[in-house]
Structure 1
Amino acid sequence: MIAVRISIVLLLLATLFGSSLYWLIGQFPGFVVISLGTTALQFTLWTGVLAVLALWLLFRILLSLIRALVLPGLHLSRNWQAKKQHKNSQLTYRGLLDLAEGRWASACKLLTKTAAGSELALINYLGAAGAAAELGNEEEVNQLLALAEKADSRNELAVALTRVRLLVGKGDYEEALPMLELLHGRHPTHPYILSLLERSYRNLQQWDQLEKLLADLRANKVLGDEALRQLEISIRAQQLTALAKNLGPDMASNKQALVDLWGRTAKSLRSVPVLIAHHAALLSQLGEPVQAEKELRRAITKGWDKELLTSYGLLGGELAAQQLKTAETWFKAQPDNPDLLLALARLCQRGELWGKARDYLEAALELDSRSEIYAELAEVMGRLGEHDKSLQFYRQGLLAVTGGETQLMVRA
């Protein structure tokens, strides 16, 4: 019943539309003329309208046919690309996992294989280069890093850092250093560049350059406070050692070099025993034993440091007798200090007090059987004419160095 009603309504609408169209054609007969050169084509306005409608309808039909033929192929291509990308991502994941687990050969192969089709080709090549480096394939490392540069030229820093990291990792500090200095110039606050640069300077023993780097290391928190302090101590100790080994013929210049070096040493470091010991040794070497002895004496009683006591016993100059008196007063407060006993023995040797030196060394051996004590006691026994005992102490000192058991030898 409803269908019949709908049909009647549609029929009425069609009749109304047809009547209206017929009326319009009668009211506006018009015509259209199309001229092409000497040829003219004329037809009624409504014929033109129908032609346009027909052409539009034909265009729509053709467009639908094209979509029906092309779209399935596009969908198939997209699905294939998606599957390929998914497989590539899985292989990349396996490659990175192998890299993390130390399976270098597998990681290098997988990451290289999937790099070309990866959205993160740079990461693939850098990871593969790291794996190749672990395998010792330097030529392959260079090839992979070159491919990484081509894959993403915007991230030159990542490639350059990987290159220098691999060089530093295998100990090629001299080759890595120029690149690191160039990178530091471009990125002066980069923590990892600073870390690699610090490591390279330290291993190449370029202490002056490392000292200049301290400010950047501190400002960018590359090292913790204690690590930075230890680095500063190490730098200054090495610089003092280098100065002692490379003194020139001009004593005034040598003294000024020491003044300058000690002058730029932070006040908080001037009380560090190892630095005081090096400084005092240099003072004595430069003809200032009185000042050296005074500096050591003031520092020793603050902590009885081994390094300071050793330096006091080895201090040159003509102050052995005075030093011995000072050290003997310390002995009353530190009778069981083997480092003080060794220093006393050495001071006695400088004064050729061989019997007294032997007593101090034997007392030191009862507290600490170090090889250097055996060596000193062997020397003293030789001076006293007891060559058999001297040889025996040398042997025991050698056993102490090599980890063998030692036997304490005391004077009968």
Structure 2
Amino acid sequence: MRRLFLIIVSVLIVGGTLGILMKQDTGYVLLAYGNITLETSIWVFSAFILVLLFVLSWVKRILFASLKPGSSLAKLTGNLHQKRASRNTIRGLLELVGGNWSKAEKLLTKSASNVPYPLINHIAAAYAASEQDNNERSKTLLREAHRSSPEAEFAISFAQSQIQMRQGHFESALATLLRLHKIQPKHRQVLKMLVQAYSHLEDWQALLNLTPLLKKEGILNDSNMLDLEKKAFNALLEHFSHKSLQGHSHSDILKTIDTVWQKLDGLEDDENMRITYAKAMLEFGDESKAESFIRKCLNKLWSDQLVLVYGQIEHKNAKKALQQAESWLSKHKDSAELLLTCGRLSQMLQLWGKARDYYQSSIDLQPKPEAISDLGRLLNALGDNEASQALFLASLNAQNKQIQELPLPSLLSKSS
């Protein structure tokens, strides 16, 4: 109450004083601009200035209040920006699909700050930059994506691995993919890309270790899975062949090959791979395992090509091996390859006549160069040069049936 009284008294004093001053001298103010002049008293001009300042102060307050987040005007302005950004994002994605990388990147980066989910813009723009071979800008955009949405690390890393694969940075891509595989071991697309990365890097051991999971998850169909295993196994054998030349232990190599073969159970159903495995056993010096493997395979499923490998083994018990081969003849007597193998095993046992008969029977069924060569050498060693030369000429005639017959000089014309 006392404070109100003091305010009223102060206002009366100030007002009275101003009234006296205004009565004594009204003052004079002249404003001129071009042909326009304005004349007034100083008191009226002062009142106008005070009113103007009061109005400007309220206008300022109203503008600040309306532009604050949550106000109607701010919402209206923000919605306009978001709508424009959303349209540019859609346009950018369409340009990306259409292959216009530069325009796509520009639209997507420009609108990223005004859309609810900038992650999509940054990742798509990173793809666009990658397609323009601008690797640094692509990395920067992925970092922006992580900064805007750190919770989407898997999606960002997956996009990064795809970009790295596209750029041919397979080692970097593999590191990224292994990190993703650890987070989601059964992610189908990650597994497919791991196959690609391992294949490009020729890391066949790692690829073979991955095949059980690929089978379990059905990532590849049976045909593609078999092709992949065959390619990986053959490449692994080639790798081990180089290791053997560098002085690595044959026993360690054989152990690894056998472990891999047991894992890839689908390979045993393929004839060529059975032959490859048997030859690998021979190459690294395990004739006993090769003989056992071939015998089991032939008892289960016959193969003319595999029985030829059986005849190339240096059997510890050649007599037993010949008995086994001859037992197969009861079911496969029309196999020229089996007869050739029986001939070779007979020759190992120095059964020259038996070997000659088997070779001849094989040639009668199918004149293969190997059988003709083996029989020719045997006949020559036995001193039957005439028969050896006749066999040689017969094989030449058999191979040259399509050659035009031309007259040859006779022995009679030579003697005259």
Q: TM-score, normalised by structure 1?
A: 0.57
Q: CA deviation at 1:111?
A: 1.9
Q: Is the 8 A contact 2:305 2:337 kept in 1?
A: no
Which of 288, 297, 306 is 1:299 aligned to? 297
Q: Note the 1:299-378 alignment, pairs <5 A.
A: 299-300=297-298, 302-304=300-302, 308=306, 311=309, 315=312, 317=314, 326=325, 333=332
**Secondary structure of the residue that 1:119 maps to in structure 2?**
coil
Task: Measure, in 2, the Cα distance between the counterparts of 1:200 and 1:133.
Answer: 18
- Give the distance between the partners of 1:235 and 1:149, measured in 2 at CA: 37
Q: Is the contact between residue 284 and residue 316 of structure 1 (CA under 8 Å) also seen in structure 2?
A: yes
Q: Distance in 2 between matches of 1:245 and 1:94?
A: 55
Deviations 1:350-379 (A, max 9, x none): 9899x9799689867xxxxxxxx9xx99x9
State the 1:96 CA deviation. 1.4
79, 82, 88: which one aligns with 1:82:
79
Q: Equivalent residue of 2:114, what SS?
A: coil
SS of equivalent residue, structure 1 residue 102: coil
Choose from 282, 285, 300 the match for 1:284. Answer: 282
Q: How many residues align?
A: 328
Amino acid at match of 1:88: A
8 Å Cα contact 2:191/2:214 also seen in 1: yes
Change (3 A) 1:118 1:69: closer
Q: Aligned in 2, Cα 1:257/1:153: closer, same or farther, shift over 3 Å?
A: same
Q: 2:250 aligns with which of 250, 254, 278?
A: 254
**Cα offsets for 1:140-188 (capped at 9, x unmatched):** 3223223323332332332222122111234321232233334434544
TM-score by length of 2: 0.57
Give, as a single letter, the amino acid of the residue that structure 1 aligns with 2:269: V
Local SS of the residue matching 1:113:
helix
CA distance in 2, matches of 1:83, 1:179: 39
Contact 2:104 2:125 in 1 (8 A): yes
CA distance in 2, matches of 1:334, 1:357: 10
Structure-2 change in CA distance of 1:177 and 1:68 (3 Å): closer
Q: Does residue 201 of the first structure (1) align with residue 198 of the second (2)? A: yes
The alpha-carbon deviation at position 268 of structure 1 amounts to: 3.7
Kindly state the Cα deviation for residue 117 of structure 1 after the two structures are TM-superposed: 2.4
**Residue 110, structure 1, aligned to residue 107, structure 2:** yes
Q: CA deviation at 1:272?
A: 3.2
Cα displacement (A) at 1:125:
1.6
> Percent of counterpart pairs with the same letter?
23
- Structure 2 residue 147 is matched with structure 1 residue 150: yes
Task: Name stretches of at least 5 consecutive residues in structure 2 with no aligned partner.
Answer: 10-57, 348-354, 378-388, 407-416
CA distance in 2, matches of 1:205, 1:303: 33
Within a 5 Å distance, the mapping from 1:140-289 to structure 2 comes to 140-214=137-211, 216-217=213-214, 221=217, 223-224=219-220, 226=222, 231-232=228-229, 234-247=231-244, 253-259=249-255, 261-263=257-259, 265-266=262-263, 268-269=265-266, 271-273=268-270, 274-289=272-287
Corresponding letter in the other structure for 2:108: L
2:124 alignment partner in structure 1: 127
Q: Secondary structure at the match of 1:247?
A: helix
Provide the rounded CA distance (Å) in 1 between the counterparts of 2:144 and 2:166.
21
Preserved contact between residue 325 and residue 338 of structure 2 (Cα < 8 Å) = no
One-letter code aligned to 2:114: G
- Deviation string 1:267-301 (CA, Å, 9 cap, x unpaired) is 84473344432331122223344542453354246
| Distance (whole Å) between structure 1 residues aligned to residue 67 and residue 241 of structure 2 | 84
Q: Structure 1 residues 203, 327: CA separation in 2 closer, same or farther (over 3 Å shift)?
A: farther
1:92/1:110 contact within 8 Å kept: yes
Q: Secondary structure at the match of 1:91?
A: helix
Q: Are 1:362 and 1:410, in contact at CA under 8 Å, matched by a contact in 2?
A: no
CA gap of 1:346–1:146, structure 2 versus 1, over 3 A, is farther
One-letter identity of the residue aligned with 1:262: D
Whole-Å Cα distance in 1 between the matches of residues 254 and 170 of structure 2?
A: 29
Q: CA deviation at 1:90?
A: 1.8
Q: Quick check: 72-81 or 101-110, which moved more? A: 72-81
